[in-house]
C-alpha cells in the first residue's frame, strides 16, 4: 500500500521552531472550536440548506461539513487513489511508473502531477501562479533518507477516478454549491492533495482569486469556493489554515501580515480540523495556506471548486490552472458536462439517494449517462478549467 493514514515511524519536527509551532497549533485549534462553523449538512422545512450554515460560512469564510462521506465510499476513494499513485510517474518528468509501465497522465497536455522538495514550500516568495504566494513558509529539515522530490498534488482528477467523479456528484454538496453560488453554478477545477507525513510540502499563505479584485461588484463570494473532502481527516499539523473573515477584506497584503506576525504563524488563523469523511468548504478569497507536514498523519484532500456563473461568463482569465481564454457560454457548458456525468455516475452507484437536479442541464440528463465508454472523452478535460 502506498497510501496509509498513519506513519508511526516518522520523527520529523519543526527544528528550532518546534516549541513555538506546537503552542500555535494548540491555540489555533482552540480558536477554531469557538467559531461555530461546523456540523452536518442540514436543510430547513422547505428543503433549502439551513440558513445558519450559510450565515456561518459567509461570516468566517469556511465551514466543516461533518460525516458527509461514509466508510464504504471512503474505501472506494482510497482504492482509486492508491491505483493513481501506483501508476503515477516514478519521478518528476518521468514517463513511466515505478514498475516501468507507461505512467498515468503521460498523454495529457494539461499539467497533471506536481512535485516539491520534501517539507518544502514550492510557491512562497516566487512569481509562480501570478505571484499570489508572496511570503516564504518555514521549511523544516526532512529525514536524510527522504527522496529528493515528492508528489503532493495531481489535477484533472475526475479523468482518473470513478470514485472522485461520484463524490463530485454528491447531492448534498451540490445543494450547498447551489445555495452559495446559485442554481446555475459552474465548475472551477479539481485536484487531489497528498501530504505525506515527514514529507508533505507547505502551501504558502495566499488568496486564490486573481481577477475581479478591482471590480466595483467584488463581494465576499466573487471568486467561489473549494470543497476539501478528507479521506483520513486532518489535524492542525497537516490541515489547511484560514484567517476567518478575510474573504471580505478584498486583496490582502499578505507579505505585510507575515512581517507583522514575525513568522509564518499568522496570529488570527485557525485550522480546518476534520474527521475522515468530513468535507470543508473554503472561500477562495480567504487568506489560507498549510504548513509542511511534520506530523505522523497523512492528509489526502479531494478538492473541487465551484463558481457563480456571473463571475466567469464572458470573463478573460487563466494563467494559473488553464491557459488564458475568454470563458464563453459554450466553454462553460462543455466544462460543466463533468457535473452532469458525475451526477449520473453517482445515481448508478447510490440509487437510494435523490440526485441533484443541476439546473443548466435540466431535461438533457439522458445525453449525459455515465459509462466506462465515456471515460476516454474526459482526457485533458481540465484544459477547460475556469480559473479566475
Ligand atoms: O491543501 C492544501 O494544503 C492547500 C490547498 C489550497 O491552498 C487550495 O486549494 O487553494
What string of pLDDT tens digits covers the 388 residues of the chain?
899 999 999 999 999 999 999 999 999 999 999 999 999 999 999 999 999 999 999 999 999 999 999 999 999 999 999 999 999 999 999 999 999 999 999 999 999 999 999 999 999 988 887 788 889 999 999 999 999 999 999 999 999 999 999 999 999 999 999 999 999 999 999 999 999 999 999 999 999 999 999 999 999 999 999 999 999 999 999 999 999 999 999 999 999 999 999 999 999 999 999 999 999 999 999 999 999 999 999 999 999 999 999 999 999 998 877 889 999 999 999 999 999 999 999 999 999 999 999 999 999 999 999 999 999 999 999 999 999 9
Which of ligand 1's atoms lies nearest the C-alpha of 299? 1
Return the CATH fold of 15-384: Jelly Rolls (2.60.120)
* Residue 203 CA to ligand 1 centre (angstroms): 7
Surface-to-core class of residue 242, CB atoms within 10 Å of its CB (0-12 exposed, 13-18 middle, 19+ buried)? buried
Cross-strand partners of 169: none
* Predicted pLDDT of residue 280: 99
Query: For residue 48, which phi and psi values (nearest 5 degrees)?
Result: -90, 150
Which of ligand 1's atoms lies nearest the C-alpha of 195? 3
What is the residue extent of each domain of the chain? 15-384
Sheet of 186-195: strand order equals: 38-39, 62-65, 279-283, 225-230, 299-307, 186-195, 150-155, 113-116
* Predicted pLDDT of residue 16: 94
The best mutation among 116, 290, 298 to test binding of ligand 1, ranked by most ligand atoms within 8 Å of the C-beta, falls on 290
* Predicted pLDDT of residue 128: 83
What angle (nearest 5°) sits at the alpha carbon of residue 173, between those of residues 167 and 176? Answer: 165
* Grid cell digits, residue 231: 479521506
Question: Does ligand 1 lie within 6 Å of residue 65's CB atom?
Answer: no
Distance CA 26, CA 270 (A): 10
**Are the C-beta atoms of residues 169 and 43 closer than 8 Å to each other?**
no
* Residue 207 CA to ligand 1 centre (angstroms): 10
Which of ligand 1's atoms lies nearest the C-alpha of 239? 3
* Predicted pLDDT of residue 31: 98
The best mutation among 120, 150, 282 to test binding of ligand 1, ranked by most ligand atoms within 8 Å of the C-beta, falls on 282
Distance CA 150, CA 90 (A): 10
* Predicted pLDDT of residue 299: 98
Which of ligand 1's atoms lies nearest the C-alpha of 206? 7
**CB neighbour list of residue 286: distance below 8 Å, 6 or more residues apart:** 61, 62, 207, 242, 243, 244, 246, 247
Q: CA 159, 160, 164, 166 torsion: positive or negative?
A: positive
Largest CA distance in the chain: 60
* Predicted pLDDT of residue 170: 98
* Predicted pLDDT of residue 101: 98
Distance CA 147, CA 142 (A): 9
Amino acid at each position: 500500500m502506498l497510501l496509509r493514514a498513519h506513519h508511526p515511524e516518522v520523527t520529523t519536527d519543526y527544528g528550532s521552531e518546534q516549541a513555538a509551532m506546537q503552542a500555535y497549533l494548540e491555540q489555533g485549534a482552540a480558536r477554531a472550536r469557538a467559531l461555530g462553523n461546523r456540523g452536518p449538512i442540514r436543510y430547513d422545512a422547505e428543503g433549502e440548506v439551513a440558513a445558519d450554515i450559510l450565515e456561518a460560512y459567509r461570516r468566517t469564510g469556511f465551514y466543516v461539513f461533518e460525516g458527509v462521506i461514509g466508510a464504504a465510499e471512503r474505501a472506494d476513494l482510497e482504492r482509486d487513489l492508491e491505483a493513481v499513485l501506483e501508476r503515477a510517474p516514478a519521478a518528476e518528468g518521468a514517463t513511466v511508473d515505478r514498475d516501468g509501465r507507461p505512467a498515468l497522465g503521460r498523454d495529457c497536455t494539461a499539467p497533471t502531477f506536481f512535485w516539491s522538495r520534501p517539507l518544502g514550500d514550492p510557491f512562497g516568495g516566487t512569481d509562480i501562479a501570478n505571484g499570489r504566494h508572496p511570503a516564504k513558509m518555514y521549511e523544516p529539515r526532512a529525514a536524510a533518507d527522504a527522496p529528493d522530490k515528492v508528489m503532493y498534488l495531481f489535477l484533472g482528477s475526475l479523468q482518473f477516478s470513478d470514485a472522485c467523479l461520484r463524490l463530485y456528484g454528491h447531492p448534498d454538496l451540490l445543494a450547498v454549491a447551489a445555495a452559495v453560488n446559485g442554481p446555475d453554478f459552474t465548475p472551477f477545477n479539481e485536484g487531489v492533495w497528498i501530504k505525506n507525513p515527514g514529507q508533505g510540502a507547505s502551501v504558502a499563505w495566499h488568496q486564490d482569486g486573481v481577477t475581479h479584485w478591482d471590480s466595483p461588484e467584488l463581494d465576499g463570494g466573487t471568486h467561489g469556493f473549494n470543497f476539501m473532502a478528507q479521506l483520513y481527516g486532518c489535524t492542525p499539523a497537516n490541515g489547511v489554515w484560514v484567517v476567518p473573515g478575510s474573504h471580505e477584506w478584498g486583496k490582502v497584503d499578505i507579505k505585510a501580515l507575515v512581517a507583522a506576525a514575525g513568522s509564518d504563524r499568522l496570529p488570527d488563523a485557525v485550522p480546518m480540523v476534520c474527521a475522515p469523511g468530513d468535507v470543508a468548504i473554503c472561500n477562495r478569497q480567504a487568506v489560507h495556506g498549510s504548513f509542511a507536514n511534520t506530523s505522523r498523519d497523512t492528509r489526502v484532500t479531494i478538492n473541487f471548486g465551484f463558481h457563480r456563473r456571473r463571475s466567469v461568463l464572458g470573463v478573460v482569465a487563466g494563467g494559473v490552472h488553464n491557459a488564458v481564454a475568454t470563458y464563453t457560454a459554450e466553454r462553460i457548458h462543455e466544462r460543466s458536462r463533468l457535473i452532469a456525468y458525475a451526477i449520473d455516475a453517482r445515481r448508478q452507484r447510490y440509487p437510494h439517494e435523490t440526485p441533484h437536479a443541476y439546473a443548466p442541464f435540466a431535461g438533457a440528463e439522458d445525453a449525459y449517462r455515465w459509462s466506462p465508454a465515456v471515460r476516454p472523452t474526459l482526457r485533458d478535460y481540465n484544459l477547460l478549467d475556469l480559473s479566475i
